[in-house]
Structure 1
Amino acid sequence: MIALWILIALITAAALALLLFPLFRRPADQPDRTDFDATVYREQLKEVELDLGRGLLSGAEATAARTEIQRRLLAVREAADAKASGAAASPAASRLGLSAVIAVAVPVGAVALYLHLGQPGIPDFPLAARKAPAVAAGGRGDMEELASRLAERLAQSPDDIKGWLLLARTYKTLQNYQGAAEAYRRALQIDNRPGISVDYAEVLMLLADGAVTAEGREIFRRVRASDPFNPKARYYLGMDKAQQGDVRGALRDWVDLVTVSADQVPWLDLVRRQIDSMAEEAGIDPASIKPTAEALDLAKSLAKLETAAPMPDRQQIEAIRAMAEKLAAKLADRPGDAEGWSRLARAYETLGETEKASRALKRAAAKK
Structure 2
Amino acid sequence: MSFWVLIFLIALLIAVFLGYTMLRGRRAEGPTAEYDLRVYREQLAGVDRDLARGVIGKADAERVRTEISRRILAADAQMRGEGESVGPSRTVTIVAFALMGAVLIGGALAMYRQLGAAGFPDIPLSARLEMAEELRINRPSQTEAEDIATPIQTPPLEESYKTLLDRLRETVAERPNDLQGQTLLAQHETNAGNFKAGYEAQTQVIALSGDNAPAHAYSNQAEMMILAAGGYVSPEAEEALRNALERDPKLGPARYYWGQMLSQTGRPDLAYRVWVDTLRDAPAGAPWGDAIRTQIDDLAFRAGVFNAPDIAASPAAPGPSQDDMNAAAELSAEERQEMIRGMVDRLSDRLATEGGSPDEWARLIAALGVLGEAEKAISIRDEAVTVFAGNNEALQMIDAAALQAGIAQ
Q: Is TM more than 0.5 here?
A: no
- TM-score (structure 1 length as normaliser): 0.38
- TM-score (structure 2 length as normaliser): 0.35
Which structure is richer in relative contact order (CA contacts within 8 A, separation 6 or more)? 1
- In our comparison, the structure showing a higher alpha carbon Rg is 2
